[in-house]
């Protein structure tokens, strides 16, 4: 491909690394395209944010294909990851420290499996206080970091598939296929409550967006190498 191809429009599959923000990944790709292909400017954006503590598939659109971002964001997504049962954190993941622990001696494999159906289909879900959603013009995570208490409304979301793939308490591995706007961190928190305990998310990987699969994605280093090969 040439620089013109990227300006005309491409959908690029990127495997985002741990600790990178989605913005950092896209910004790095923009720099690679401009510096290696000699482009003065290039439109580029991603279709669906991944948290810094999540890895996996990031769809990046370039050029005229940035007009397809909203369409791509609306597709179903598949995630795999791990819940830690018996403790919660304010952020519902590892961004913050454990704030409360809960009993787990009553939790059996059967109880875990029996709890799954209540999270299938359309459900009401409350986004985490540590999220980018705005309340009164301010992002929720800014309210949280300022120690402010805000009321967060429930949102409807759809869980198409939810399966437990490994139980090794306190860890439970899962696979979820869900609609746009689903917070897996909130699913972890709510799943812990349903078990009469607590839980938080300790690993998350996005594996699919619609028909796009992370197996076909490149990490940023491999993407850089591919652009160097094009340029030479």
- Which residues have a catalytic role annotated? 51
End-to-end CA distance of the chain: 12
Q: How is residue 52 written in tokens?
A: 């810094």
User: How many CA atoms lie within 13 Å of 190's alpha carbon, on the beta-carbon side?
Assistant: 19
Inter-residue contact 50 to 16 (CB < 8 Å): yes
Q: How is residue 28 written in tokens?
A: 């790095």
Could you give phi then psi for residue 30, rounded to 5 degrees? -65, -45
Q: How is residue 24 written in tokens?
A: 């950092």
Q: How far apart are the C-alpha atoms of 51 and 179, rounded to whole Å?
A: 17
Inter-residue contact 187 to 199 (CB < 8 Å): no
Q: How far is CA 94 from CA 49, 100, 126, 133, 203, in A?
A: 18, 13, 18, 19, 9
Instruction: Report the sign of the C-alpha dihedral through residues 124, 151, 145, 25, in that order.
Output: positive
């Amino acid at each position: 491909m040439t620089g013109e191809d990227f300006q005309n429009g491409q959908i690029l599959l990127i495997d985002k690394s741990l600790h990178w923000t989605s913005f950092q990944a896209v910004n790095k790709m923009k720099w690679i395209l401009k510096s290696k292909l000699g482009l003065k400017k290039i439109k580029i954006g991603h279709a669906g944010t991944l948290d810094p503590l999540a890895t996996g598939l990031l769809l990046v659109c370039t050029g005229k294909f940035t007009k397809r971002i909203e369409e791509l964001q609306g597709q179903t997504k598949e995630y795999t990851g791990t819940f830690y049962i018996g403790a919660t954190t304010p952020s519902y993941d590892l961004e913050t420290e454990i704030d409360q622990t809960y009993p787990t001696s009553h939790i059996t494999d059967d109880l875990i499996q029996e709890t799954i159906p209540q999270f299938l289909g359309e459900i009401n879900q409350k986004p985490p206080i540590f999220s980018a959603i705005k309340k009164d013009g301010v992002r929720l995570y800014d309210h949280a970091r300022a120690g402010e208490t805000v009321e967060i409304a429930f949102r409807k979301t759809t869980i198409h598939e939810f399966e437990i793939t490994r139980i090794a308490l306190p860890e439970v591995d899962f696979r979820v296929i869900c609609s746009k706007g689903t917070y897996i961190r909130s699913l972890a928190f709510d799943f812990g409550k349903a078990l009469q305990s607590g839980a938080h998310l300790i690993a998350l990987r996005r594996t699919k967006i619609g028909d796009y699969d992370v197996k076909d994605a490149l990490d940023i280093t491999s993407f850089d190498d591919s652009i160097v090969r094009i340029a030479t």
